A and B are shown apart, each in its own frame.
Chain A
Amino acid sequence: MRRLTPYLLALPSWMWLAIFLVVPMVAMASVSLQTGNAIDGFAMTFSFSNYTEAIGRYSTQLARSLLYGALATVAMLVIGYPVAYFIAFKAGARKSMYLFLLLLPFFVSFVLRTISWNFLLADNGILFGTLKGWGLLPADFHVLATTVAVVGGLTYNFLPFMILPIYVALERVDPRVVEAAQDLYATRAAAFRRVVLPLSLPGVFAGVLMTFVPATADPINAAILGGTSNTMIGNIIQTAYLTNLDYPTASALSFTLMAVLLVGIFIYARALGTENVLEAAAR
């Protein structure tokens, strides 16, 4: 009995995983191979053509989602790393205030935050209207309904998920290790490159995962901020599911997206050298 105790203690976790991860996944996998419609019902036909058809029809949106996700992730990294660095090393006593400010937007719903950009970036709104009034921008200039708006919206909405893990990793870097590097003839830049950066990589890794995946799958920013050719795969899945009640296509696209993301993550992890990253993280 005693030998079983650890397994019994882990049982709730396993059940959690089974109920909220495995069961829905199996259900979705099953639906993705069915054919039929919502009225006459769906039947399992092992119709793998659901996948080929869906991918064929929506490859543009799939590729676009990956591109937007990647662009937004790079932008978040470029903006987020310095912010995390500043909060971890330079903010001093104001650290908790900055972290609070970072989380403040989360008190407002995701959709509302995104919609607020519609007002801020309106063609003749407070920002561009003013600049156009001063003659600094051509009257035709607009950001809404463009790729820039969608990628910018993704960057804005997921930025804290990039900053926080990097901050946590940087926060754990012993300042004396940085001093040691400088003592051993490293310039500030070299100390950053050889010591701080490698030690913060687990945070960067986590940050990229936590932003790239949801940014790629996000339907909201494209719907609110995008134009006529900014549709992302999330919008397609949503329409297939809710409007068309085309559950097989929606499931097949979801699985395809998941598979593409997993492969991407795997390549990324290999490129970054997960072993090293994990080793540093386990310190």
Chain B
Amino acid sequence: MNPLMRGMTQPRTRRDVFRLAGFSAAGLALAACGVQGQKAAPPKADAVADYWAKQKKNGKVVFANWPEYMPEDKGPLEKFKKDTGIAYEYKEVIQENAEFFGKADPVLRAGQSLGYDIVVMTNGIQLQHMIELGYAVPLDHSKLPNFDANAGQKYKERSYDPGNKYTVPYTSGVTGIAYNTKYVKDEITSIESLFDPKYKGRVGMMADAQEIANFGMIALGIDPEKSTEADWNKAGEKLKAQRDAGIVRKYYDQSYIDAVSKGDVWLTMAWSGDVFQRQLAGEPVKFVVPAEGGTIWTDNMLIPKGAANPVDALMLMDYLYQPAVAAELDEYIQYVTPVPAVQDLLREKAKTAKGEDKKALEDMVDSPLMFPSEADYAKLRNYTQLTTQQEQVFNPIFQSITQA
């Protein structure tokens, strides 16, 4: 089967906002007499060196990742095993950030090991908690030569982990607007279309507080990453007005993609990969990054505290930054790779490929959603970076809109 087709016919469940499974587990984790705070002090440079000095290569690594994030033949991992002699275990156990954090928190809090050497989490509140609570092992950059050489500059300067102290990106994606061309005859270019009374009752917005806040702020010309409490309030007012005017049909989780494909909503906030899949399935949906901007998010690899094989884990992380390996991975995943050299490699490959494969590879290479241009990147904003105190202000502003 064509890897492109396979990757795109699977629903992208990992952003599912149903937080069910983790619910009861989190409940039992709560001690009766208060939960101890664990806020970690920033690690001292020599402490990091000390930690890594004590670790040695063990010849095995356990990698916990999301579904549909690794080719079925495990090509990149097999190559890693051949080149380094390190055996791997690959587990698709992460479905959702909040749920995963809910399960991991009590284990890590108790000082036990998760049993994984690498986990992948999206930038956002839970990842931030992982870092703040000291659950992520600081990385030894002397052991990340491929990352330093091959990662795009943008992926080295991310506000949620400046200098990649704890994480390196696995892959990125874009939040923009999807619309159903059967019902929307005009070309959608502006974020203002989401606020247009013409589409009353036919607009989908995302339930996630950060996602919807981002779009509220972008619509007001505010860069979410640099936003202040006053900006949040302004965005909240704009989103509330949109809601009160009856423009929004529903605040969606992952199910928005079905709604827009079926025509229950005509245009909606959307994640790029989902729309790719539906297009290939022949459905009349189009994805656009609004002229005012969209957001980019990143799934990141990190080594959880208590990992048994941190050296092997670091080696694997770095290995995935070899352009050839990154290309093989991205051809399957089809999101935005942090390794810019991949685009040229795939272009070379397309030249020698034939038939459907050739067409699919050409589509990928040309897609601004897989390889955003500088102009595209210029339109892509990063998530708001929140402290815990800010979060307690931020969340209620937007949740009072999505959960009225």
Q: Could you tell me which A residues sit within 8 Å of B by CB distance?
A: 23-24, 26-28, 30-31, 34, 36-44, 57, 60-61, 111, 115, 118-119, 122-125, 140, 142, 144-145, 220, 223-224, 226-229, 231, 235-236, 238-239, 241-247, 251
Q: Which residues of A contact B102 (CB under 8 A)?
A: 242
Q: In the complex, what distance in Å separates the CA atom of A125 from the CA atom of B264? A: 9
| Contact, CB under 8 Å: B34 / A123 | no
Q: In the complex, what distance in Å separates the CA atom of A255 from the CA atom of B164? A: 42
B223-260 interface bits toward A, Cβ cutoff 8 Å, 1 = contact, 0 = none: 00000000000000000000100001111010100110
Q: In the complex, what distance in Å separates the CA atom of A37 from the CA atom of B216? A: 27
**If the complex has contacts A39-B39, A244-B395, are A124 and B263 also in contact, measured as CB distance less than 8 A?**
yes
Closest B residue to A224 by CB, please name it: B255
**If the complex has contacts A42-B34, A243-B19, A243-B98, are A115 and B39 also in contact, measured as CB distance less than 8 A?**
no
| Contact, CB under 8 Å: A145 / B250 | yes
User: Would you give the shortest CB distance from A34 to chain B, in whole angstroms?
Assistant: 6
Total CB contacts across the A-B interface at under 8 A: 127
Q: Which of B18, B34, B263 has the most CB of A within 10 A?
A: B34
26 contacts between A and B (CB under 8 A): A30-B33, A34-B34, A36-B34, A37-B392, A38-B388, A39-B38, A41-B37, A43-B34, A44-B33, A118-B258, A119-B262, A122-B262, A122-B264, A142-B201, A220-B20, A223-B18, A227-B250, A228-B248, A228-B404, A238-B20, A241-B27, A242-B19, A242-B23, A242-B98, A243-B98, A244-B395
B69-92 interface bits toward A, Cβ cutoff 8 Å, 1 = contact, 0 = none: 000000000000000000000000
Is B209 positioned at the interface, with any CB of A under 8 Å from its CB? yes
| Contact, CB under 8 Å: B262 / A125 | yes
| Contact, CB under 8 Å: A39 / B27 | no
Cβ 8 A contact of A24, one of B27, B248, B399: B27
| Contact, CB under 8 Å: A242 / B26 | yes
User: Would you give the shortest CB distance from A25 to chain B, in whole angstroms?
Assistant: 10
> Which A-B residue pairs are the 10 nearest by beta carbons?
A41-B37, A242-B19, A40-B37, A27-B32, A231-B403, A242-B98, A39-B388, A42-B35, A145-B250, A122-B262
Is B125 positioned at the interface, with any CB of A under 8 Å from its CB? yes
Q: In the complex, what distance in Å separates the CA atom of A122 from the CA atom of B258? A: 10
| Contact, CB under 8 Å: A41 / B38 | yes
B259-270 interface bits toward A, Cβ cutoff 8 Å, 1 = contact, 0 = none: 100111000000
Q: Which residues of B contact A122 (CB under 8 A)?
A: 262-264
Is B157 positioned at the interface, with any CB of A under 8 Å from its CB? no
User: Would you give the shortest CB distance from B11 to chain A, in whole angstroms?
Assistant: 11
Closest A residue to B401 by CB, please name it: A228
Q: Which residues of B contact A40 (CB under 8 A)?
A: 37, 39, 388
Q: In the complex, what distance in Å separates the CA atom of A111 from the CA atom of B18? A: 10
User: Would you give the shortest CB distance from B132 to chain A, in whole angstroms?
Assistant: 5
| Contact, CB under 8 Å: B395 / A241 | no
Is B129 positioned at the interface, with any CB of A under 8 Å from its CB? yes
Is B375 positioned at the interface, with any CB of A under 8 Å from its CB? no
Q: In the complex, what distance in Å separates the CA atom of A39 from the CA atom of B253? A: 26
Closest B residue to A33 by CB, please name it: B34
| Contact, CB under 8 Å: A238 / B23 | yes
| Contact, CB under 8 Å: B31 / A124 | no
